[in-house]
Structure 1
Amino acid sequence: MRSKTIRVAVSALAVGTVGVLLAGCGAGDSPAEGEFTVTMAALQPAPSFDPAVINNGPLYNYAASAYETLVFPEADGTLTPGIATEWEYIDNTTLTMDIRDDVVFVDGTGLDADLVVANIERYRTTPGPYQSRMNSIDTVTAVDEDSIEFILNTPDLSLPQAFSLTPGMMVSQAAIDDPSILQSETAGSGPWMLDEYIDGSEYTYVRNPEYSGPLDVEPDVLRYVVITDLTAQLNALLAGDVDITVAQWTQRETAEQQGMAAVGGESNVGGLWLMDREGEVVPALGDVRVRQAINHAIDRESLGEALWSTFQRPTAQVFGTSTNAYDESLDDYYEYDPDRARELLAEAGYADGFDLPILSRTTFGDSARLEATLPFLQEVGINATIVDRTNDYYDAMAAKEFAAAQSQQNGVTDAYVGASNLLVANSQVNPFGVTDPELDALMADAAAELDADAAAEKWQAVSAWVVENAWFAPISYYHTHNLYNPETLAGVELSAGQTVALPFTWVRP
């Protein structure tokens, strides 16, 4: 049963048109007797329906709704069977995996081990946010119809966790043969499938009659309505036009005062990504003393509190408390010390400062954070400016147009995953491909360690190296929040590593 699609080119949903698009089928209403429909406000339209290009965050539900993963992540982060019924490390470089024999895609075709292999090979060769997570795979082969074997080029005990995200989402053979299909329709075996959409504005998913997986989901219809402004999202929730939204901490307080419910938790680290660590575009950033000066210039305590109130934790490290790389002592490694920042700039030959255009975007509050950060940099003589590239943020990053970016990282629940997302040469946020032999050796040593306590110590050494060499200038680990109407949704959970509540957790009133 192939999903029905309607493709109409329109601009992103304007605030004033929310009521028009939702007219006739309000949030919580049922299009047919007995159906449970949930409408969620989405910050961004779907770039496509190809899971290979979708990251954790506001885009994730476009893929998670329609595709099963090899490994399923429970809300607490526990990994349970999905398409894979079991998996086992024979040793630290050999992983075997058995797959279900009842998987059926929306086009009526089935899944076997060869198709799983083809999917994983596609993730290995398709540029996207998780391509670097496949770096540890040397070969993946089908042992028989329902089992596969991975031979790794380096120990990587986190692969099952990677396969609980988009790299574990399997698409049909038709989509493997012609990936352009995924520009206009879903091709998965998940609980729901795309039914219709107005491109850039509204997306409707319905139950997939072919779904045979282990999940017992409740919503019959999912509707994602694009509202790119958080204030407009809150207004839509309070008006009853949507059932669930993402929010900032100030909006959470407002919504709870008006009877709405909220879930949230520490999930994101936000700040400056100092990407040009060899000085290719901005020579000054090639000097570690300059990057350290930037870190000393930022008052994390006051800036974090102004941006996120008590829903944050100032930090100088990019690994969070949910990973074994977290080291509490690194949170305050760089004291706020403008004088020390000026001294380091002078030692590096930049006593008179330098120009630093910083890539930013209006989504996720990045530009607002950067506007609050700039005065600290300017105080020590760095002429930092904002360049808004909301519409082609990652393209501008990949093209190496900017030495630094205002950014945030979410969903890191494993040190190896965090390193793959942030540090390796082909990670999306390392566009200059900067590597260092000492860091590479530290990461390889940590990844190969099988003893949990020893592995934690080694991953903390990785984090310490990154902090000392100032590859980033984080501000805080901050909370993300989801608001929902308790009259139309009885329960919502924010799963570990996610910033947007997944539809698997939505419960009928």
Structure 2
Amino acid sequence: MRRTSGPLLAAITTTTLVALATLSGCTDAGTGSGAAGGGKSTLTLGMTQDIQGWDPTSQPSYQGWASSAVYDSPIRCDATGKPQPYAAESFTFKPDNTGVTLHLRQGMKFSDGTPVDAAAVKASVEYAGKHGGSAARFERMKVTTPDDLTVVITYPEANPLLSARLCELRLASPKYTAAGETNKAPVGSGPYTLDASATTAGSQYTFVKNDSYWDSKSYPYKKLVIKVITNETATINALKTGQLDGSLITQATYSQAKAAGLKIAAQKSQVTRLLITDHLGKKVPALGDVNVRRAMNMVFDKEALAKNLYRGLATPTAQIFRTGSDAYIDDLKDPYPFDVEAAKKLMAKAGYAEGFTLEIPYMQGQGLDALMPVVKQQLSLINIKVKQKTLSGPNAISELLSGKYPVPFWQLGNFGDSRLDIADYLLPDGIWNVSHQEDATVNKHWKKISTVAAEKSAEDQQAINRYVVDQAWFVPLAATSMFYAHSADIDVRPANDSDGLHPVLRDFQ
């Protein structure tokens, strides 16, 4: 799972066990198959976590179907991260990545009847710059409006992530955001509107189609129902019995879903890893030696992990970037083969033959439960004593990212636009670079990346990739997939999700 944006991080800090209540009161089956005889009626999707309210700045990309139902963005990013028209029917980015001009569609309206015009887009950018966990991404944008349908956004220096940020931006009615009650009900311009009378927070959210939406044909269902079911067994049962048309599942229930005749869409877009962010050794001196970091890589039999622990549903990898992205190196061989004896020699060379103690944070229920004992066992082979720090409660993610623990253990997604991976995982202000340490080599290449178009930055992105592999900033354990199970009665197009997490709302046909 990708866990990089402020709203997204907030979204995974709570787990609500409402599955049985959701299902016991349910009499409707998912009706995505309603096309037989009279058009498509209802699409019923499962969510493994509750939504985090309706504020436009608190909308995650992970399982963000509710957000996509009610909110538009100025542009959307396709599966490779490239910008495509959305509320803006056309746009022009400055070649030096310092700004963009957007030309909005005519006639769009928010659900309260106010127009989606240049003033509304400006208000949404300014609101995003003052609210939510991602405010820093928008606060320095300057917005001017030459006319009602033209928006000019400038940035004080080159920002290669400008298109990605505008894909994240949710457009909301200025009246709605100004009223200060953004969590009561959403007021956006999306393909659906919330049916509050058929919604129970924490359990079920119901939406009705906005027939006046500019791209209504891409959303064929008259009604969208999202059920919050956090128990995976309950999710599989709901899929089997037709109470859900689709939901995310994991390797643990993959075989059950297959046996039940469900269709499964897989997206290989995650790498489970240890993030060695203290590569200067400021908090844990041993981590400042590259030989220690390399030794940590060499005690894991990645082939065996992929085959046995992940049931053959993962592949070994030496790099953190998504296959096909600009930073990915096709012919990169793993420089750290499984070799415990060689790892011990590296530890001795670094002066740490006797090892050291390393505290690693861990959260239950995030797909790492079976892997954590393996991490402890294998690192013990080179005398690294792992103290497992179990994090829980509403502050677990913020504690994980606080910098207190310089080696987070997580399965992180890979963006279609690999510049986002570099920004989040490698730059000193990256949210997952929890030690926030500078590196001259990374900074040198990032400076060059920042001032050119994405397609011209591949050489420098790959140089960064080679560098962090050589310096062993990560211990990549496996390239894993997100699995989305769905009824054979609905058509799920190849995913358009730039985060590579799951089908987006427009993929359900």
Q: TM-score, normalised by structure 2?
A: 0.85
C-alpha deviation, 1:281, in angstroms:
4.5
TM-aligned CA deviation for residue 42 of structure 1:
1.0
Counterpart among 90, 110, 114 of residue 109 in structure 1: 114
* Partner residue, 1:193: 193
- Displacement of 1:261 in angstroms is 1.3
Q: Does 1:99 align with 2:101?
A: no
Q: 1:156-305 residue pairs with structure 2 within 5 A?
A: 156=159, 159-164=162-167, 166-167=168-169, 169-178=170-179, 181-196=181-196, 197-208=199-210, 211-213=213-215, 216-249=218-251, 251-305=253-307
**What is residue 8 of structure 2 aligned with on the other side?**
none
**Deviation at residue 184 of structure 1 after TM alignment:** 3.4
Cα gap change, 1:486/1:300 in structure 2, threshold over 3 Å: closer, same or farther?
Answer: same
Matched, 1:70 2:58: no
- Aligned-pair distance for 1:286? 3.9
Q: How many residues align?
A: 488
Give runs of aligned pairs for residues 56-67 of structure 1, distance below 5 A.
56-58=61-63, 60-67=64-71
Instruction: Report the CA distance shift for 1:54/1:404 in structure 2 as closer, same or farther (over 3 A).
Output: farther
Counterpart secondary structure, 2:320: coil
Superposed displacement of residue 451, structure 1: 8.5
Counterparts of residues 334-345 of structure 1 (less than 5 Å): 334-345=336-347
Q: 1:215 to 1:155 in 2, by over 3 A?
A: farther
Q: Which amino acid aligns with 2:237?
A: N
Q: Which amino acid aligns with 1:72?
A: R
Contact 1:416 1:447 (C-alpha < 8 Å) held by counterparts: no
| SS at 2:106 equivalent | coil
Deviations 1:29-86 (A, max 9, x none): 899x97722222211111222343343323x223222211211345676643111111
Identify unmatched segments of 5+ residues in structure 2: 1-13
The 5 Å alignment of 1:354-393 reads: 354-391=356-393, 392-393=395-396
Which residue number corresponds to residue 395 of structure 1? 398
SS of aligned partner of 2:368 = helix
Distance in 2, Cα, partners of 1:134 & 1:344: 45
- Contact 2:81 2:417 (C-alpha < 8 Å) held by counterparts: no
* Deviations 1:457-482, CA, capped at 9 Å, x for gaps: 21100111222222222212222111
Partner-residue secondary structure (3-state), 1:464: helix
- Say if 1:363 and 1:140 are closer, same or farther in 2 by CA, change over 3 A: farther
Matches of 1:451 and 1:229 in 2, distance apart? 40
- Give the TM-score normalised by structure 1: 0.85
Who is 2:335 aligned against?
333
Q: Which residue of 2 aligns with 1:6?
A: none
Residues 1:145 and 2:145 aligned together: no
Shift of 1:380: 1.6
Whole-Å Cα distance in 1 between the matches of residues 438 and 305 of structure 2? 30
Q: Indicate which of 43, 47, 55 corresponds to 1:50.
A: 55
Deviation at 1:272, TM superposition (A): 1.4
Q: Deviations over 1:296-340 (max 9, x none)?
A: 222222112223344333112111113111013445132222233
Does residue 82 in structure 1 map to residue 86 in structure 2? Answer: yes
Q: Which residue of 115, 118, 122 maps to 2:123?
A: 118
Provide the C-alpha distance between the structure 2 equivalents of 1:370 and 1:298, rounded to a whole number of angstroms. Answer: 12
Per-residue deviation at 1:237? 0.9
- How far residue 190 of structure 1 moved from its aligned partner, in angstroms, is 0.6
1:445 aligns with 2:448: yes
> Aligned with 1:336: secondary structure?
coil
Query: For residue 13 of structure 1, what is the aligned residue in structure 2?
Result: 17
- Taking a change above 3 Å as real, the CA distance of residues 276 and 451 of structure 1, as seen in their structure-2 partners, is closer
Does structure 1 retain, via aligned residues, the 8 Å contact 2:19–2:228? no
Q: Which amino acid in the other structure matches residue 505 of structure 1? A: D
1:38 — aligned with what?
A: 43
Query: Alpha carbons of 1:430 and 1:142: their partners in 2 closer, same or farther (altered >3 Å)?
Result: farther
CA 1:388 to 1:208, structure 2 compared with 1: closer, same or farther past 3 Å? farther
Is 2:488 the partner of 1:483? no
Letter in structure 2 aligned against 1:318 = I
CA distance in 2, matches of 1:361, 1:42: 19
How far the C-alpha of 1:215 sits from its partner, in A, is 5.2
Cα separation, 2, equivalents of 1:506 and 1:451:
29
1:413 Cα offset (Å): 0.3
- Give the C-alpha shift of residue 11 in structure 1: 7.7
Distance of 1:411 and 1:451 partners within structure 2: 16
Shift of 1:254: 2.9
1:429: how far off?
Answer: 1.3
Deviation at 1:394, TM superposition (A): 1.8
Contact 2:81 2:415 in 1 (8 A): no
The alignment status of 1:405 with 2:408, answered yes or no, reads yes
C-alpha distance in structure 2 between counterparts of 1:280 and 1:317, whole Å: 25
Counterpart code for 2:418: A
Q: 1:400 to 1:195 in 2, by over 3 A?
A: farther
3-state SS of the aligned residue for 1:120?
helix
Contact 1:360 1:387 in 2 (8 A): yes
Q: Secondary structure at the match of 2:182?
A: helix
| Shift in alpha-carbon separation, 1:223–1:336, aligned structure 2, 3 A | same
- Per the alignment, do residues 425 and 198 of structure 1 end up closer, same or farther by CA in structure 2, a change over 3 Å counting? farther
Query: Which residue does the alignment assign to 2:5?
Result: none
In structure 2, the partner of 1:467 is 469
